Structure formats: structure tokens, C-alpha cells
Structure 1
Amino acid sequence: MEEGAAGPQGEAGLWPGVGAGLLLWTAAAVLLPVLLTCWCSVRRARREEALRRGRGLGPGSRHSLGLGSGHTWLYTDLFPRPTYCSLCGQAALLGSSCLSCGLCVHEACQARAQRRLRCKESVQAPGGGPGGWEGGLGAPGGGLGAPGGWEGAPGGGPGGWEGGLGAPGGGLGAPGGGLGAPGGWEGAPGLQADPGPLPPAPGLQPHHWVRGNLPICNSCAACGLQCGSQPRLCDCRCCWCQRVAHDGCLSLLPTACDLGPLRRAIIPPRYLYTAIRQRASPASQLSSICPENWCPILVLANARSGNNMAQSLMGEFRSILNPVQVVDLGCSTPLKALQLCTLLPSHAVRVLVCGGDGTVGWVLDAIDEMKYKGQDQYIPHVAILPLGTGNDLSNTLGWGPGYTGDVTAEAILQKVLDGDPMKLDRWRVRVTKGFYSFHGPKIFSMNNYFSIGPDALMALNFHECREQSPFLFSNRIINKAVYFFYGTRDCLIQACKDLDQKIELELDGERISLPKLEGIIVLNIAYWGGGCRLWEGTGDISPPPASHNDGLLEVVGVYGSFHCAQIHVKLANPVRLGQAHTVRLILKNSAMPMQVDGEPWVQGPCTVVITQKTQALMISPPGEQLDDDVSLATQPDT
């Protein structure tokens, strides 16, 4: 009996230890991956923050309108293709790449690369010599026989290419490698003696050769064969004209760089130096530096717009254009960025806005400020690369409902160069509280539309949700799904009912009798609500013609959120209230949601007056027949 009693007691005493051990191992198996992931995330965030705050390391730190230089590093956990460090020549799985010149380096080599490898120069003095190999032949920053040697190494000649001229580690004719040595560059086999590129004639733009990590499917500009096919750091690419060449073919190419097929869009670095330092220089001196039919493009990108594609696009544009031409609006304001236009020929600049309709409005407001400052001769034309959620203005001007990455950066810039100039009406929305107010009125600029009612309520709910959790709104589809959710909810709540009893509408001073409505929308462009042609509607009856540059506004009404959904799928028509040059709305009582171009707020009793402000200079894609033009052409003669 004692043995039988002892058995279960011994088992019971054993199980708590086993259970505790199992619990411990389970907790370790669950928590360890979580903690490791958090540690890696914090480490990466600190590394990226260090890159932004370091000397010349980060988007926006070097590309203000100044003479700064330095690399714009972007850290990556895994390079997308076989990559070799531009400094040590070893294979690299992770590290940093420069968005401007294309250098790729290990994390351990980054500090040395920042000091020794020159980046693409935004501004270059005419007497500075050619760019040569990340430092230049005969340039003050580096080059053969110059103070700084290859890659700008201190000491000049003896410093050499990571070993120096005649040094044991490498250099010209040295056993370790260098020009004319059996070992080639840095001891790498295969490169025979080659005198290298000669300096171009004074006043011409030199090539800026970057070695290795060439784009796929390329061909040598000299011999036509493929470059960069060997599994090592070999062959070269000019980060200005984008030509590639074998190491042994460099001497066969012209010494001067023509800036490539998109030379019309690029600001030569020597032009900026001359324009900044010698403003009083004759126009002939500046024109001799510029390509024929020069039309420089300034890219303004908003990294927070829509599906967050702006960051990668800025890197592509920086690799093609002068880095000073690409501005992140998260680091600089549009007005500050547009001051570059004052250094360029009058009416020659074109601006490409990468973002949503709100970003476009921000840039157009900055252009209006330039007009107020008396800088009318420097006003640029504006093109749009749609990265937002709705993109109604972009759709109206022919740039499409949204960019999906299917068009290369080169093709986008070529479209902007070949685009057709046009005008866009801009309107002033003046909101005055009550009948008498001691406070000044609110003033808004309108490009797309003004609305009061259910669609403004959806925009307000979306805006508040995005402010609380911005990390959730990184995809255009998710954004539209959130709009759909709030629209469905309002179908049940009907928060804006009986609007016709709370508001008065006047078109050009004439009082309009309103039916039973929940919302009023004032349109300047053809599209509304993410791609719906609201004024056009459906059916055989054609409405009066409308255009975005005719000085008229179109005013429509909707019965509610469900009616808006029916209009989107072409099952219903809006209530067309008329067209006018001036629109006046009086909100008599209660508070209602309002919006101007997607900027929502809740407004109490007030008077809203919409009048024309100015006309903006825009660009439509080449050969694109706009929908407004089609509707005007198809109108029957009366």
C-alpha cells in the first residue's frame, strides 16, 4: 500500500517540473523571434536615422540650392541582384547605395566611400577639370597627377588608386595592380594597359565614370558588346549620360559628355556655377553651356502620397538628372524648391509633381506666391505623376488615374518634355462665419471641387483615421476601401439629411430653388470622387459643355451616399443645378462637413463665396485629346 501510494505521489511531484520546463521552452520559442524582430527593427531605424543626420548622408541634406556635395545613401537589407562594393570590390549582400551616382558599398566601407569617392556634382566650376573616375583627371578633388590622386586620396600621386603610383599595394606599373599592370585594377585580372580617358576641352562637361554594378541588358558604347557580365567589379557607367563601356574601351569614347538622350531636361552643373557666381555674365556665356532647345525639368515629390512610391522614383530621377533638380517635399517647401527657376531661362522650366491632387495644389499655391513677388517671368509649366488616392486632376489633364510603375523614369521625363501646354482655372473659396464676424475669413484655393454633404463627411472621416494611424494608409486600394466603409456607414446614418432646408444657393446672383438634397458639389474639373465624370452623367441627354479652363463652375446636387454610389457605377445622374462664374452658399444653421480639394473640416453657420482667382500653366501628355475637348467637339450646334 505504501509503494502504491508513493507511485502517484512521485508522478505528481514530477509533473510540475516538466510543466514548468515545457512552459519555459514554449515562451522562449514564441518570444525569441519577436524580440529578435524588434531588435532588428530598432537597429535598422537607428541606422537610417544616422544616415539622415550624417554629413551629406540623406535625402534633402545636400540638394538645397547650394554648393554642397555628398552621397545620398539608401540602406537596404538585401541588394536585388549580384552587387559588389565600389570601394573594396568584394561581393555585397547588404549595405548602402547612393541614389545619385549609383555607388554600392558595405556598411563598413561607407565612411571611407563618403570621403574618397566623389558623388555626382550638382554644381561644378568651369576650371575644376573633368570628373574622371569619381574625382577626375587633373581636377582639384582627384585624378592622375593632381592633388588628391585617384578618388581624391590625400597626397596626390603617391596616394594613387588604393596603393599609389609605384607603391607595393598597387598603382601604375606596380606588381599589385593598377594601370598597365598584369593585375589590372586593384589586382583584378583581365584589364590590360590603357591610358584611360583624356580630359575634354575646356568648358565642356566631362564624364563621371562609376565602376561596376551596371544595369542589366546593356551594351558598350564603343564596341557594342555586353558590359558587366563578369562576376567582379568591372566596367564603367557615366552617371550623367548613362553610357556604359568596358574598362579597355574608355579611351575610344569622346572625352566630353553630352548628358545623354535627355540632355534637354538636365541642368549642367557648370551652368549652375556660372549662374550663381556670375549673375552679371553675358547671356551668350550661359547659352553656350546649355543644350539646344533646353527645357530643364524640376521634380517635386511627396513621399507620403498614396502608395508611397515616391521614394524609389526620386532615386531613379536623381540618377538621370542633376541631383539638385529632384526635391523631397518632406524636407523642403515648394516655394523654396521653385527658387531654382530664378537661375534658369524665363518660361523654360517644367515642373513634374509626383504626388496626389493635394500636392499639386500645394505647388500651385507656391507658384502664385512667386507671382505676388514679381517673379512672373520664371513661372514654370506643371505636369503631374499621379501617386495619390483620387488623382482627379491628373485624370482630367490626361496623366491617368494613378501611376503603377509600368512606365520608366526616362519615358516619364520624355513625356514631360514633349507635353502640350494648357491652362487650368484656379478659384478662391472665401468662408465667412455667420453674418458678422470679428475674425478674418478663411481663404482656400480650389483646383478640383468644393463640396458640402456626404462626400465631405467621408473625406473628413478618412482624414481623421489617417491622422491617427498613418502607417495603415500605404496603399491606394486600402485608402479606397476605407472611403467605401465610411460611405456605407453614412447610407445608414444619413448625417447630412435635409440640407436643402439649411442652405441657400446663388449662381451669379440668382437664387436657385433646391430639391430635397443631402449634398452640393461645385466642380471645376471633369472628374470627381476618384474617376467619376459627375457632370456628364449617363443617358442620351447631353448636359451643357464644361471645361477646366472656361471660367465656369458646374454645380450639382446629390441625394445621399447611396446616390453617390449609384453615380459612380453609372446607374443614376446627379441633380444638375447650373453653371456660373460666381457661386454663393449660405449655411443658415447647424454645422456641416465641407471640403476643398480633399481638405475637410466641420463648419458652422457661414457664407461661402467662390470666385475665379487665376489660371495655372499646366502640361498635358503629347498627342492626348482631353475628355473636355471631346465633349466640346461633340456638342450639337444650336
Structure 2
Amino acid sequence: MAESKSDSDFLKEFYIPAYIFNDETKCSDLRDVPKFPVLVFINSKSGGQLGGDLLNTYRSVLNEHQIFDVGEEAPDKVLRRVYTRLEKLKQEKDEFATKIHERLRIIVAGGDGTAGWLLGVVCDLKLPHPPPIATVPLGTGNNLPFSFGWGKKNPGTDRNSVLSFLEQVMKAKEMKIDNWHILMRMRAPKEGPCDPIPPLELPHSLHAFGRVSSTDELNMESIDPQEGYHTFRGGFWNYFSMGMDAQVSYAFHSERKLHPEKFKNQLVNQRDLTAPYVDDGLLEVVGFRDAWHGLVLLAPKGHGTRLAQAHRIRFEFHKGAADHTYMRIDGEPWKQPLPKDDDAVVVEISHLGQVNMLATQNCRSKSVNDVSSSTSHHNGEEDDDFSDEDDSRAEPEFRKFGAADTFRIPDEIDISQLS
């Protein structure tokens, strides 16, 4: 089908020429720098045939060099290569490349697992100008796209649908979202290999880090420091849940999302809780009476009881009547064994920086920047203990949020298993 002049002019605002990606001869007619140059990452395995169709459509309307299938090349490798190339061109005083670098945006199409993978990569690479990210709901979950106004249903994959989404990207506003680092430790088996082989089936967002012989930094007096431990770490953006709510998800693979507006009528005045935002560095602690209480989140006015807010939270699981519990990170559930002896399973969640997101004008998520400074809880000192401006002094397991080296999808994982 022939491309109209209006479509052609529109697509030029997103188009990145081939020389940006390799050493091809620069075109002589490169005068107008695109206002919204994009890198597009698509999980071709998401949504059945939809992922592959969407990949082909984007490659047909933009430069195929700027479209990537995450099943063929990992995002961290792509971004390292692209940003290395951009830096080289900037050093050569290439003004076109410099403006591409400043204006770059990212589109990621896939389920929440794919979106989280990309967010973790951008966080880990510590790019000089982190690009804002738009998420296309494709596959299952799709809580991140829903929260930032991109919808929850699988998109159309035809040309007009892609053009419509790109128009939304053009009009989108930038917002930040908090990163949450999770660290889990449990005693390693007294017999067996010393390598940190996962003793359970964990979600993609948690990976073995290494054996720890000393636990002083976590003040785990209840665990013998002479013994080794399995350590797992990773990250999330939406939620971490445990108990019956996670068990329902584990059994039925249902997907739910706790939205900030669900709790606006649950403020506990005597606890001086602030309004919930996606970028305030605070984790909302919400309780449910049982799994079915949690399921009312599906209803328009459903909500749990907001119990507390914290920059950092720690759970210790000791021997009890139950031999396991259920946990879930951003929709990915697993069955977590509990201690059988005088051991403890420790889970620590802490704030670790932010990532730039693209959001539609009517998105559900709320930012602290949307309100006056008088209603903000920040006093300029609260974030000091959790700053990652210089993480060279931090403990090794906290130096990376995870995606580039540890939060990445392992090579042995079949990409088709990832939403």
C-alpha cells in the first residue's frame, strides 16, 4: 500500500537513520532531526501470533535497524551497542547524533515480564540520559501499561494501529517510577553442591547471587553465621505480595494490580500517611483479610486496608505450622519453602532509584510533582540513606538493580515462557 505524504512526514519524527547503528556512509540529506526517535523492543513470543505480527509491522513503517526482537538479542546488549555508537558520534561532533541521544525514547511491547526486563536494563546501565519508556500491552498481565494509560488489552497489529500508538507516544508526558530492590536469603542445604543453585522455582525477576558466609550486615542473629546461605536478588515496580493472594495467583495465574486511587479513602490519619504516588520513594503496605478480599481489587471500588509506608521493609519467616507460603512479584508467583528448623528465610525490599516512563495524559498513576510542594512529604533528607548516586561503596548485592547482569533473563530460559 502506498504511503501518503502525511504519513511519511509523521513517521519521520520517529525514524532513526541506519548510520546511527553502524558505520554506513552518512546520508547527505539528513537535515531535520526527528523529534521523537524511538528504539522499539518487542517480544515476538507474546500474545501468540500478535507479537510476530507487531514486529513485522514496526519494521515496515520504521527503519528495521531500530526494531529489536528480545528473543533474538537481549536489550542490555542492544542498548550498550547503541549508546556506545552514539557516544562515538558525539565525540566526532555529530550534531544529528547528539540530538538523537538527547531525544531518544523506548517502546517495549510484551507482558509485564518483558516490560520489567527492559526497565531493569535501563536502570542497571546507568545511562547518562535514561530514555523514557512506553509500554505496549501485549500478552498477559499488562499492569504497567494499564497503570500509565496505555491500556490492558492486546493491541492491533496493523499499520493504522501502530501509527495510532506512535501518535500517543508523541503526545505522552514523562513520569518517574520507583525501583524496588528485593533480596532474599535462606540457608543452603547442609549437603549438596556449594554453587547457588536455586532450591525452588523462582520467577524470572529473581536470580541467584552467591553464597554468603557472614550475615552481620542484615543483623540476622537468628541464623548461624558459620553456615552458608543461598542469596537471590532482583527487582520490581508494581507489587510484591505473599499469602493467600499470591496462592490464588499461583493456582489460577490470575492478574491483579493495586492502583494508588484504590487507597485514597483508606488514609489512617493517626499514622500520618501521605497520599500514594509512584515516585515518592515509599512502599505502600496493604493488608487483605483473605484471598477473596484481595480479589475485590477487580471491582471498581475494591481496595485493601493501607497499613503503613516505608522506604525499606524486612520480613523474617521462622519455623511454624506451615512448611511453605506463596509469594508473587509483579504477577509472577512461586511457592516459597519455609524453615524446618531454627533457621529463617529473610526477604528485604528497599528503594533503589527511579526509571523514566512515558504516560498518557489521563493515566491512573500519580506523581509527587502533580501536587504543590506543601503537600509533599519530602524534606530533602529522607532519601539520603537510600541514594544510589555512588554505589561503589554499597554491598555487592545492592550495586546492581539487576537487569544488565543479574536481573537479566538467563540464556537457558525459553523466551516463549516469558509473558
Normalised by the length of structure 2, the TM-score is 0.65
Look up the match of 2:245: 455
- Alignment match, 1:298: 39
1:1-16 residue pairs with structure 2 within 5 A?
none
Separation in 2, partners of 1:547, 1:260: 38
Secondary structure at 2:357 match in 1: strand
Match for residue 596 of structure 1 among 329, 332, 353: 329
Answering whether residue 85 of structure 2 is matched by residue 343 of structure 1, we say: yes
Residue number in structure 2 paired with 1:391? 142
The answer as to whether partners of 1:537 and 1:567 remain within 8 angstroms in 2 is: no
Q: Determine the C-alpha separation between the residues in 2 that align with 1:631 and 1:270.
A: 38
Deviation readout 1:116-159 (Å, 9 max, x if unpaired):
xxxxxxxxxxxxxxxxxxxxxxxxxxxxxxxxxxxxxxxxxxxx
3-state SS of the aligned residue for 1:265?
coil
AA paired with 2:362? E
Give the letter for the 1:399 counterpart: W
Q: Equivalents in 2 of 1:456, 1:308: separation in Å?
A: 29
Instruction: Check 1:532–1:631 CA distance in 2 against 1; reply closer, same or farther (3 A cut).
Output: farther
Matched AA of 1:325: Q
Which residue of structure 1 aligns with residue 175 of structure 2? 422
Is 1:330 equivalent to 2:68 in the alignment? no
Matches within 5 A, 1:21-40: none
* Residue aligning to 1:368: 123
Match of 1:441 among 217, 231, 236: 231
After TM superposition, give the deviation of residue 572 of structure 1 in Å: 5.8
Measured on the aligned residues, the alpha-carbon RMSD in Å equals 3.4
Identity of aligned residues (%): 29
- 2:123, 2:28 → 1: CA distance? 28
Quote the Cα distance in structure 2 between the aligned partners of 1:535 and 1:420: 20
The 1:461/1:631 distance shift into structure 2, 3 A limit, reads farther
CA distance in 1, matches of 2:14, 2:371: 34
1:369-427 C-alpha deviation (Å, 9 max, x unpaired): 422xxxx2363221111113222221222212233429611121222233222211101
Count, aligned residues: 310
Alignment match of 1:354 (pick from 95, 109, 127):
109
Structure 1 pair 299/399, CA: closer, same or farther in 2 (3 Å)? same
Superposition TM-score, scaled by structure 1 size: 0.44
Q: Could you list the runs of 5+ residues in structure 2 that have no partner in the other structure?
A: 87-97, 188-222, 340-344, 377-419
2-structure distance, mates of 1:571, 1:618: 26
1:569 matches 2:299: yes
Q: Which residue of 2 aligns with 1:615?
A: 354
Measure how far apart 1:295 and its partner are: 3.1
Partner SS, residue 262 of structure 1? helix
Say which of 125, 128, 133 aligns to 1:377: 128
| Residue type at the aligned position of 1:395 | F
Q: CA deviation at 1:579?
A: 0.6
Asked if structure 2 preserves the Cα contact closer than 8 Å seen for 1:545 and 1:631, the reply is no
* Distance in 2 between residues matched to 1:411 and 1:421, nearest whole Å: 19
Q: Aligned residue for 1:321?
A: 62
- C-alpha spacing 1:596/1:566, structure 2 compared with 1 (3 Å): closer
Residue identity matched to 1:340: V
Q: Report the Cα distance in structure 1 between the residues aligned to 2:129 and 2:301, rounded to whole angstroms.
A: 47
- The Cα of 1:363 is off from its aligned counterpart by 0.9
Q: Distance in 2 between matches of 1:289 and 1:347?
A: 17
Aligned residues of 1:538 and 1:570 also touching (Cα < 8 A): no
- Is 1:260 aligned with 2:50? no
Residue identity matched to 1:456: A
Instruction: Supply the distance in 2 between the matched residues of 1:286 and 1:424 (Cα, whole angstroms).
Output: 38
* Higher RCO (CA 8 Å, separation ≥ 6 residues): 2
* 1:450-488 deviation per Cα after TM superposition (whole angstroms, max 9, x unaligned): 1111232233335xxxxxxxxxxxxxxxxxxx63xxxxx
| 1:401 aligns with one of 148, 152, 169 | 152
Give 1 or 2 for the bigger CA radius of gyration. 1
Aligned partner of residue 9 in structure 2, secondary structure: coil
Unaligned runs of at least 5 residues, structure 1: 1-213, 215-236, 245-257, 279-284, 463-481, 484-528
Paired with 2:27 and 2:303, the residues of 1 have a C-alpha distance of 57
